[in-house]
């Protein structure tokens, strides 16, 4: 199970401890922003006691979507983002993971074997179905494109041939970073929000 970490974190830590007490393997989802990167660094430098028995911390790269999107919250707006990624590459008593939206930071600042790296999976091996039963290649595309309504038997056809899915796959196969040493792992980062890329 995963618990989202929100300030002041006491409720998150309480929930984590309850799950662990019940023997449930628990991850923490931590939204990485220009404002939260300091906390992430502190947690990695000196992990709080509440993290002692968690399975993993999964860092999620902030995307400017939703009711109040803010460009200043992009993690690259913090001068400490490189230091964070370097710290994240160390060994801890818990696992450290990332969403694929962090691929450009991982490939730029960390030494990770290619076998452990996955670039954007939108429309390649995942899709999102919204609460109102519409299909999108990525959950963060709801505000950017019209979703395709799910019907009794159209999921496979949409996956294989709908323009929003074929378009995202085409974007993911185009090189926008010719000559980049880590292109084979990063594949130009996020095609939906290029502003989140850390290169």
Predicted local confidence at residue 118, as pLDDT: 86
Of 2-11, 45-54, 168-177, least confident by mean pLDDT is: 168-177
Percent of the chain's residues with pLDDT above 70 = 100
Q: Say if residues 66 and 24 touch (Cβ distance below 8 Å).
A: no
Residues 6+ apart with CB under 8 A from 18: none
Q: Given a cut of 90, is residue 135 above it in pLDDT?
A: yes
Residue 197 in this model has a pLDDT that exceeds 80:
yes
Q: Provide the pLDDT for residue 156.
A: 96
Q: Average pLDDT for residues 142-162, to the nearest whole number?
A: 93
Q: Is the per-residue pLDDT at 176 higher than 80? A: no
Q: CB of 2 within 8 A of CB of 26?
A: yes
Per-residue pLDDT for 10 more than 90?
yes
Question: What contacts 99, CB < 8 A, 6 or more positions away?
Answer: 58, 59, 60, 61
Q: Which residue has the higher pLDDT, 184 or 5?
A: 5
The residue-averaged pLDDT of 146-165 equals: 94
pLDDT mean over 91-112: 92
pLDDT at 188 over 90: no
- Average pLDDT estimate for 48-74: 92
As a whole number, mean pLDDT of residues 169-192 equals 82
> pLDDT class for 68, splitting at 50, 70, 90?
confident
Q: What's this model's pTM, rounded to 2 decimal places?
A: 0.89
């Amino acid at each position: 199970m995963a618990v989202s970490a929100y300030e002041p974190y006491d409720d998150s830590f309480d929930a984590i401890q309850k799950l662990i007490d019940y023997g449930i393997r628990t991850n923490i989802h931590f939204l990485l922003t220009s404002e939260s990167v300091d906390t992430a660094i502190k947690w990695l430098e000196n992990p709080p006691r509440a993290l002692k028995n968690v399975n993993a911390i999964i860092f999620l790269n902030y995307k400017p979507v939703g009711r109040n999107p803010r460009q200043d919250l992009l993690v690259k707006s913090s001068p400490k983002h490189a230091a964070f990624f370097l710290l994240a590459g160390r060994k801890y008593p818990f696992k450290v993971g990332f969403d694929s939206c962090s691929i450009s930071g991982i490939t730029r600042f960390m030494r990770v074997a290619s076998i452990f790296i996955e670039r954007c999976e939108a429309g390649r091996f995942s899709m999102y179905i919204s609460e109102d039963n519409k299909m999108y290649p990525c959950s963060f595309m709801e505000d950017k494109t019209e979703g395709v309504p799910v019907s009794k038997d159209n999921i496979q056809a949409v996956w294989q041939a709908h323009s929003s899915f074929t378009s995202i796959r085409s974007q993911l196969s185009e090189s926008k970073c010719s000559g980049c040493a880590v292109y084979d792992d990063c594949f130009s980062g996020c095609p939906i929000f290029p502003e989140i890329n850390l290169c």
